[in-house]
Protein backbone atom coordinates (compact mmCIF):
# COMPACT_ATOMS: atom_id res chain seq x y z
CA UNK A 1 0.00 0.00 0.00
CA UNK A 2 2.40 2.61 -1.19
CA UNK A 3 0.16 5.44 -2.28
CA UNK A 4 -2.89 7.40 -1.32
CA UNK A 5 -3.65 7.49 -5.01
CA UNK A 6 -5.72 4.60 -3.76
CA UNK A 7 -8.45 7.27 -3.52
CA UNK A 8 -9.61 9.15 -6.55
CA UNK A 9 -10.09 12.94 -6.50
CA UNK A 10 -13.80 12.67 -5.76
CA UNK A 11 -13.26 10.29 -2.85
CA UNK A 12 -10.53 12.53 -1.46
CA UNK A 13 -12.84 15.53 -1.62
CA UNK A 14 -15.69 13.64 0.05
CA UNK A 15 -13.46 12.42 2.88
CA UNK A 16 -12.12 15.92 3.47
CA UNK A 17 -15.57 17.53 3.36
CA UNK A 18 -17.24 15.07 5.70
CA UNK A 19 -14.43 14.69 8.25
CA UNK A 20 -15.24 17.78 10.38
CA UNK A 21 -18.83 16.58 10.87
CA UNK A 22 -17.78 13.03 11.66
CA UNK A 23 -15.03 13.86 14.14
CA UNK A 24 -17.07 16.23 16.31
CA UNK A 25 -18.48 15.35 19.73
CA UNK A 26 -15.80 13.20 21.30
CA UNK A 27 -15.20 10.93 18.33
CA UNK A 28 -11.84 9.57 19.51
CA UNK A 29 -12.82 8.88 23.10
CA UNK A 30 -15.92 7.15 21.74
CA UNK A 31 -13.75 5.18 19.34
CA UNK A 32 -11.60 3.80 22.15
CA UNK A 33 -14.55 3.03 24.41
CA UNK A 34 -16.24 1.21 21.50
CA UNK A 35 -13.01 -0.65 20.76
CA UNK A 36 -12.62 -1.72 24.39
CA UNK A 37 -16.28 -2.77 24.63
CA UNK A 38 -15.83 -4.96 21.57
CA UNK A 39 -12.43 -6.33 22.63
CA UNK A 40 -11.78 -5.67 26.33
CA UNK A 41 -8.28 -7.18 26.15
CA UNK A 42 -7.20 -4.33 23.87
CA UNK A 43 -7.26 -1.91 26.79
CA UNK A 44 -4.42 -3.94 28.33
CA UNK A 45 -2.17 -2.82 25.45
CA UNK A 46 -2.09 0.67 26.96
CA UNK A 47 0.14 0.71 30.04
CA UNK A 48 -1.02 4.09 31.30
CA UNK A 49 -4.70 3.21 31.40
CA UNK A 50 -4.72 -0.58 31.11
CA UNK A 51 -6.34 -1.10 34.50
CA UNK A 52 -8.45 2.03 34.74
CA UNK A 53 -12.06 0.99 35.29
CA UNK A 54 -14.03 1.37 32.09
CA UNK A 55 -16.41 3.95 33.54
CA UNK A 56 -13.45 6.15 34.57
CA UNK A 57 -11.62 6.11 31.25
CA UNK A 58 -13.10 9.33 29.89
CA UNK A 59 -11.75 11.25 32.87
CA UNK A 60 -8.28 9.70 32.72
CA UNK A 61 -5.66 12.15 31.44
CA UNK A 62 -3.60 9.42 29.73
CA UNK A 63 -6.65 8.03 27.93
CA UNK A 64 -7.66 11.51 26.81
CA UNK A 65 -4.12 12.31 25.64
CA UNK A 66 -3.93 9.11 23.59
CA UNK A 67 -7.31 9.88 22.04
CA UNK A 68 -6.06 13.34 21.03
CA UNK A 69 -2.88 11.86 19.51
CA UNK A 70 -4.94 9.42 17.45
CA UNK A 71 -7.10 12.26 16.24
CA UNK A 72 -3.99 14.20 15.26
CA UNK A 73 -2.74 11.29 13.14
CA UNK A 74 -6.04 11.00 11.29
CA UNK A 75 -6.28 14.76 10.76
CA UNK A 76 -2.77 14.70 9.35
CA UNK A 77 -3.57 11.74 7.10
CA UNK A 78 -6.57 13.56 5.67
CA UNK A 79 -4.55 16.73 5.14
CA UNK A 80 -1.85 14.78 3.29
CA UNK A 81 -4.09 12.87 0.90
CA UNK A 82 -2.77 14.86 -2.06
CA UNK A 83 0.86 14.23 -1.04
CA UNK A 84 0.98 10.43 -0.94
CA UNK A 85 4.72 10.09 -0.32
CA UNK A 86 4.54 12.25 2.82
CA UNK A 87 1.43 10.44 3.99
CA UNK A 88 3.04 7.05 3.43
CA UNK A 89 6.16 8.03 5.39
CA UNK A 90 4.15 9.24 8.40
CA UNK A 91 2.02 6.08 8.46
CA UNK A 92 5.04 3.78 8.10
CA UNK A 93 6.77 5.61 10.96
CA UNK A 94 3.69 5.26 13.13
CA UNK A 95 3.48 1.56 12.36
CA UNK A 96 7.16 1.12 13.25
CA UNK A 97 6.49 2.74 16.64
CA UNK A 98 3.78 0.13 17.24
CA UNK A 99 6.04 -2.89 16.54
CA UNK A 100 7.02 -3.18 20.18
CA UNK A 101 3.41 -3.99 21.07
CA UNK A 102 3.47 -7.13 18.90
CA UNK A 103 0.12 -6.36 17.33
CA UNK A 104 -1.36 -8.73 14.79
CA UNK A 105 -3.31 -8.18 11.60
CA UNK A 106 -6.41 -9.13 13.61
CA UNK A 107 -5.85 -6.17 15.96
CA UNK A 108 -5.85 -3.82 12.99
CA UNK A 109 -8.88 -5.47 11.41
CA UNK A 110 -10.86 -4.85 14.58
CA UNK A 111 -9.70 -1.22 14.66
CA UNK A 112 -10.73 -0.76 11.02
CA UNK A 113 -14.11 -2.39 11.68
CA UNK A 114 -14.86 -0.18 14.70
CA UNK A 115 -13.77 2.95 12.80
CA UNK A 116 -15.83 2.01 9.76
CA UNK A 117 -18.98 1.52 11.83
CA UNK A 118 -18.47 4.75 13.76
CA UNK A 119 -17.86 6.77 10.61
CA UNK A 120 -20.88 5.26 8.88
CA UNK A 121 -23.01 6.10 11.94
CA UNK A 122 -21.84 9.72 11.84
CA UNK A 123 -22.02 10.43 8.12
CA UNK A 124 -23.97 13.61 7.43
CA UNK A 125 -27.41 12.77 6.08
CA UNK A 126 -27.92 15.98 4.14
CA UNK A 127 -28.30 15.13 0.50
CA UNK A 128 -30.24 11.95 1.14
CA UNK A 129 -29.41 8.25 1.09
CA UNK A 130 -27.50 8.38 -2.20
CA UNK A 131 -25.11 10.97 -0.76
CA UNK A 132 -24.65 8.91 2.42
CA UNK A 133 -23.83 5.83 0.33
CA UNK A 134 -21.36 7.86 -1.74
CA UNK A 135 -19.66 9.12 1.44
CA UNK A 136 -19.50 5.62 2.92
CA UNK A 137 -17.88 4.32 -0.25
CA UNK A 138 -15.32 7.14 -0.18
CA UNK A 139 -14.29 6.33 3.38
CA UNK A 140 -13.62 2.63 2.75
CA UNK A 141 -10.43 3.06 0.70
CA UNK A 142 -9.20 5.77 3.06
CA UNK A 143 -9.51 3.50 6.09
CA UNK A 144 -8.04 0.57 4.17
CA UNK A 145 -5.08 2.74 3.19
CA UNK A 146 -4.38 4.25 6.61
CA UNK A 147 -4.91 1.12 8.67
CA UNK A 148 -3.22 -1.04 6.03
CA UNK A 149 0.01 0.97 5.87
CA UNK A 150 0.23 1.22 9.67
CA UNK A 151 -0.48 -2.51 9.99
CA UNK A 152 2.05 -3.51 7.34
CA UNK A 153 4.74 -1.49 9.10
CA UNK A 154 3.76 -2.56 12.61
CA UNK A 155 3.73 -6.25 11.75
CA UNK A 156 6.84 -6.21 9.55
CA UNK A 157 9.77 -8.30 10.65
CA UNK A 158 12.85 -6.14 11.06
CA UNK A 159 16.23 -7.80 10.66
pLDDT at 4: 44
pLDDT at 24: 87
What mean pLDDT value characterizes the chain? Answer: 93
pLDDT over 60 at 1, yes or no: no
Give the C-alpha distances (Å, rounded to integers) separating 126 from 25, 71, 121, 122, 129.
18, 24, 14, 12, 8
Q: Which has the minimum average pLDDT: 4-13, 44-53, 63-72, 112-121?
A: 4-13
- Which pLDDT band holds residue 158 (cuts at 50, 70, 90)? low
- Which pLDDT band holds residue 55 (cuts at 50, 70, 90)? very high
pTM: 0.91
pLDDT over 70 at 118, yes or no: yes
CA–CA separation, 141 and 5 (whole Å)? 10
pLDDT at 6: 75
Q: Which residues are within 8 A (CB) of 31 and not within 5 positions of it... i.e. 6 or more apart?
A: 67, 70, 114, 115, 118
Amino acid sequence: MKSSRFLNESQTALVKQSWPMIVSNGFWTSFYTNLFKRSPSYQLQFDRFAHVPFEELESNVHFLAHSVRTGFVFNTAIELLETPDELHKILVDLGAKHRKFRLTAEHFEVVRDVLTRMIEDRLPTTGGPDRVALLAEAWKPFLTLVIGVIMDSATATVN
